[in-house]
Structure 1
Amino acid sequence: MHSKILSTASLLVAALLLSGSAAHNKDEWKSRTIYQLLTDRFWRDDGSTQPCSDIGKYCGGTFKGIQDKLDYIKGMGFDAIWISPIPENFGNDYHGYGALDWYKVNPHFGDEQGLKDMIKAAQDKGIWVMLDVVANHVAWIDEAYQMVNPFNKKEYYHAKCQINNWDDQNEVEYCRLANLPDLDQDNAFVRSTLLQWVKDTVQKFNFDGIRIDTVPHVKKDFWKEYAQAAGVFQIGEALKGDVGYVSYYTHDGLDATMNYPLYFTLRNVFNYKHSMYEIRNVFNQEKSAFADVDALGVFIDNHDNPRFLSMSNSLPLFKTALTFTLFSQGIPIIYYGSEQGFNGGNDPANREPLWTSMNTQNPLYTFLQGLISLRKSQEVWTFPHIERWCDDTFYAFTRGNVLIAITNQDQSGQQHRDISYHPYKPGQKLCNQLFEGDCIFVTPDNKVPVYLLKGESKVFIPATNAEGEYVFAQE
């Protein structure tokens, strides 16, 4: 098996950058599979499984709740979690994106010790913890700036204006998103305070990485300093489908971004049956635009967009999209509730409480369990994503010895392709890991015959005998 060799020098540098913290760097994070959860919606620490009466408000999830259910996450094979922002928020802002007091942990979630206990418990189980952070805006308090700690003066903010033209970058950076007071990072106090806050927070609680909210709303030069201050892997959110726009924030800035261009492409391909060539096109664009495509966050669901199943309601295509997410180039991020088939639409419907249905026997839970186990055993992140076939309805690629074949057709009949561009030998036996006994042989003229039924995906690896040797047809 191909083994990943970590650079001793890079680990030493990372350790020096953030003494006392896990300080996991970009290359280490590539091996991780992230489970994104909303702290308020994951698990209540009193064990109550009653539905939430109003999902537009707090529902009761806590740090202790996460700690109590870490085995539910680990059981699927996830080795990282992304949690909600932690500062005390205004009013009913259960999501964490409306900070009121930056120096107080949100009491709805628990206290500092509870957060530390949860993080330590997760890390003891081999699960890294990524913190969602915000540096663009504060709570929805209009101009009552005195309510915010420590940004309690009007001079700490840009002049009040609303973003109306999203193609005007000046407006995006200086005006308000959803009327949230926009911090002025050019103000010396604001800048130094935000940098010190992220440094202190990462060190104090021993976070392994950060996800940064609303990156395009702040000038890029600030993010370079912010990344250095954090001292851990950073992945930023730039919610646009334009590859050039999103990649800009990784040029001498952040380690990586969420791969929104690919997200919109996958939504088109699987939900709206667009051509698979769109996958090829976005990958070709990203190869030249990003310095490191393998660090991008790959996802098909999150808290800001309607869930996949709310758009197509096709379980086969959902499973295929999950397969692609977990084996494609980049760091896979799976949104909580995917393993239970949640199908909520626009916010807040896509932020359902999980405690009503934490079924470890759900076919989607076990499906993810199998995929993640295979991703790890084959260490796919150490191999390039190589396209092996592409047409309107069929796409295949390899990561090392693993061949992934997918279709976006869940209504038509069988899809059959004979793939001639592949890394295998004539006569070699390949077995689909998603269905026991589904094996094929590379033909004598060196073609891999792949058959997919409605919306199906297959993940092939070479068969081996008891001695670990590859199996061929004549055997």
Structure 2
Amino acid sequence: MYPLAQFAVSLVGLSAVFPSLAAAATADEWRSRSIYQLITDRFALPSGSSIDPKTCNPAQAKFCGGTWQGIMQHLDYIQGMGFTAIWISPVNQNIPGPTAYGDPYHGYWIADVSQLNDRFGTADDLRQLSDELHRRGMYLMVDVVVNNVASATIPPNYSQYLFKDPSYYHPYCQVDHNNRTSAQVCWLGDTKVALPDLDTENQIVVSTYNQWVSQFVQDFGIDGLRIDAAKHVRAEFWGPFCKAAGVFCIGEVFGDDIDLAASYQGPTTLDAILNFPQYSALKDAFTIPGPGNMSSLVDQFNTARRKFTDVGVLGNFLENHDLPRWTSFSVDIQSMFNAMAFSFMSDGIPVLYYGQEQRFNGAGDPVNREPLWPSQYDQGDTYKFMAMLNQVRNYLTQSGDWLHQPAQIISYTDEALFLAKGYVITVLTNIGSPPKNASASMIGSGFSPNQVMIDVITCQQVIVGSQGSIYIDYRKGGHASILIPEYYIRGSDICTDVQRASYQGMTPQKSASSGAAPARLSSAELASSMALLAGTIVWLTVGAV
């Protein structure tokens, strides 16, 4: 039996050294954030490191030397893209390496969860990272592994774990991923690196975990938790666990099963999950080469809004540490830009996996865990595109009720899709980068004729036509368009290079009573107008200009 009294004493000691600074960030506070996900070992070497920066080969699955100090020293790079939160890989003690699958550089092979992983720094280093993020107005999300520990042997050496008695674990069995009970009680991993499964029905395990996470969050000023392998634990475990943590919890429910994913969001379980069903649908819709299946994305979009408690806090992503890089299977950069625009301008919290802004192309674990430093933290076109998306989304979240308005797909074809959220219309296509004698158009946008819209991606004007029609020209290639009424961004830092004088002759429609720009509808009023029109109008064509 694990000595719980000793565990409590150790937590009190940590608390005395690290007084609480956690802000108890709620799901609604996270709703407006955008998250940059990183693997500590691969993001940044600390200043003065003696490690040769050219020696990190991700295929070898070895430690490369990134630390919490390295992250802190490169926060300007992340904040320069406009991200308002970071999600870092697990910080807790891991089993020693190497194993048959390399070193535990990623942090997911847990030994004693109550101890920190000294490969990445000290408790002071982690606290300094948290403090610096908060000084910048950013949030810290930490990945935690609760379902299991790790072992290079079967049976494991239980003395190395927080829970030191075998009775706190489910008996060994090989997991059957097609059986939900098996997925929750059997061991992940294999005989080379086994992942002994904690018995999260055991009340001592439950109470100890709740006590640990409460103190862990307080000690290091953590604002949110990403829960690894959440679906491998009964959903009801997470409600008390997250209540004890007192911060936003978003879980990994891997796979396309939307019913299973939705069962892990709610008041008795997690605040949110990472939206794997949407990820798969975005692949189907936008990858080049690919099926070009816009209808799959629309079906998933509509089903999610029926099934989930709150789609506005789900995690939207195109890459992570377990998936192939987008550019490893899609050869056209516009496919990624269009899918990314959907992730930022729809409901949900955008998540970017480090290196996507550098177009890394690792085709799955472990080569999708590249070191970032060989890029020299370049701020090229993709970095700037991410910065633009964040700039627009951050402005919208702070300038009205856009964030809380539900997104709608007004209509679509196999090649284009119009997404409306509040007073913003996003036009997306899967035709790719090469110029094409094609266009996308719609009527019934909810905006008045002659209304000046700004495409904030290109900073070009789009003038609303009769019957609220909008026209997008693809003769320069299949770019995404984010259209916002000019008067909503007037005075902002968005598209400041657009000369306002150029609007002469194409100014917004005047009001007969005041001579002012058209009435500034609320997001709800525009959404209502679009909903009334969308059901009766066939609006979208992609074809010859």
TM-score by length of 1: 0.91
Matched residue, 2:451: 428
Distance in 2 (alpha carbons) for counterparts of 1:74 and 1:298: 19
Alignment CA distance shift 1:52-1:327 (3 Å): farther
2:222 to 204, 207, 217: 207
Matched residue, 1:324: 342
Instruction: Give the structure with higher Rg (CA).
Output: 2
Matched residue, 1:196: 211
Structure 2 contact 448–467 (Cα < 8 Å) conserved? no
Matched, 1:125 2:136: yes
Matched residue, 1:221: 236
Structure 2 contact 416–428 (Cα < 8 Å) conserved? yes
Distance in 1 (alpha carbons) for counterparts of 2:237 and 2:46: 38
Matched residue, 1:51: 54
Distance in 1 (alpha carbons) for counterparts of 2:378 and 2:485: 29
1:344 to 337, 349, 362: 362
Matched residue, 1:116: 127
Distance in 2 (alpha carbons) for counterparts of 1:36 and 1:383: 26
Matched residue, 1:170: 181
Task: State the Cα deviation string for residues 31-85 of structure 1 (Å, max 9, x = none).
Answer: 0010001111110113557134442011111000011001111111001000011
Matched residue, 2:414: 392
Alignment CA distance shift 1:324-1:47 (3 Å): farther
Matched residue, 1:263: 279
Matched residue, 2:170: 158
Distance in 1 (alpha carbons) for counterparts of 2:236 and 2:396: 38
Matched residue, 2:22: 21
Alignment CA distance shift 1:466-1:318 (3 Å): closer
SS of corresponding position for 2:389: helix
Per the TM alignment, residue 291 of structure 1 is displaced from its structure 2 partner at its CA by 1.1
Distance in 2 (alpha carbons) for counterparts of 1:159 and 1:472: 69
Q: Which amino acid aligns with 2:410?
A: R
Distance in 1 (alpha carbons) for counterparts of 2:437 and 2:28: 39
Q: Which amino acid aligns with 2:166?
A: K
Distance in 2 (alpha carbons) for counterparts of 1:161 and 1:217: 14
Q: Which amino acid aligns with 2:403?
A: W
Task: State the Cα deviation string for residues 408-457 of structure 1 (Å, max 9, x = none).
Answer: 12168244222113231111111211113x22211133211122354321
1:145 to 147, 150, 157: 157
SS of corresponding position for 1:82: strand
Q: After TM superposition, list the pairs within 5 Å mapping 1:89-108 onto structure 2.
A: 89-90=94-95, 91=97, 92-108=103-119
Q: Which amino acid aligns with 2:300?
A: V
SS of corresponding position for 1:126: coil
Per the TM alignment, residue 360 of structure 1 is displaced from its structure 2 partner at its CA by 4.0
Distance in 1 (alpha carbons) for counterparts of 2:265 and 2:81: 31
Matched residue, 2:81: 76
Distance in 2 (alpha carbons) for counterparts of 1:104 and 1:227: 20
Matched residue, 2:146: 135
Q: Which amino acid aligns with 2:309?
A: A
Unaligned runs of at least 5 residues, structure 2: 1-18, 98-102, 493-499, 511-516, 518-545
Q: Which amino acid aligns with 1:314?
A: D
1:284 to 281, 302, 305: 302
Q: Which amino acid aligns with 2:286?
A: F
SS of corresponding position for 2:467: coil
Count of equivalent residues: 456
Distance in 1 (alpha carbons) for counterparts of 2:387 and 2:21: 33
SS of corresponding position for 1:158: coil
Per the TM alignment, residue 145 of structure 1 is displaced from its structure 2 partner at its CA by 3.0
Per the TM alignment, residue 244 of structure 1 is displaced from its structure 2 partner at its CA by 0.5
Further displaced range: 77-86 or 425-434: 425-434
Alignment CA distance shift 1:274-1:418 (3 Å): closer
Q: Which amino acid aligns with 1:143?
A: P
Distance in 2 (alpha carbons) for counterparts of 1:51 and 1:373: 34
Structure 2 contact 151–157 (Cα < 8 Å) conserved? no
SS of corresponding position for 1:99: coil
Q: Which amino acid aligns with 1:32?
A: R
Matched residue, 2:32: 31
Matched residue, 2:471: 449
Q: Which amino acid aligns with 2:67?
A: T
Unaligned runs of at least 5 residues, structure 1: 1-17
Per the TM alignment, residue 93 of structure 1 is displaced from its structure 2 partner at its CA by 0.7
Matched, 1:236 2:239: no
* Identity %, equivalent residues: 36
1:181 to 167, 187, 196: 196
SS of corresponding position for 1:166: coil
Structure 1 contact 404–458 (Cα < 8 Å) conserved? yes
SS of corresponding position for 2:361: coil
Matched residue, 1:3: none
SS of corresponding position for 2:471: strand
Further displaced range: 266-275 or 425-434: 266-275
Distance in 2 (alpha carbons) for counterparts of 1:426 and 1:455: 25
Alignment CA distance shift 1:47-1:429 (3 Å): farther
Distance in 1 (alpha carbons) for counterparts of 2:438 and 2:177: 41
Matched, 1:249 2:264: yes
Matched residue, 1:11: none
Alignment CA distance shift 1:426-1:106 (3 Å): same
SS of corresponding position for 2:483: strand
User: Aligned-residue CA RMSD in angstroms?
Assistant: 2.1
SS of corresponding position for 2:337: helix
Per the TM alignment, residue 309 of structure 1 is displaced from its structure 2 partner at its CA by 0.3
Q: Which amino acid aligns with 1:180?
A: L
Per the TM alignment, residue 382 of structure 1 is displaced from its structure 2 partner at its CA by 3.0
Q: After TM superposition, list the pairs within 5 Å mapping 1:289-438 onto structure 2.
A: 289-379=307-397, 380-410=402-432, 413-436=436-459, 438=460
Distance in 2 (alpha carbons) for counterparts of 1:250 and 1:198: 19
Matched residue, 1:10: none
Per the TM alignment, residue 314 of structure 1 is displaced from its structure 2 partner at its CA by 1.4
Structure 1 contact 85–133 (Cα < 8 Å) conserved? yes
Alignment CA distance shift 1:143-1:455 (3 Å): farther
Distance in 2 (alpha carbons) for counterparts of 1:467 and 1:104: 50
Distance in 2 (alpha carbons) for counterparts of 1:193 and 1:57: 32
Distance in 2 (alpha carbons) for counterparts of 1:426 and 1:467: 23
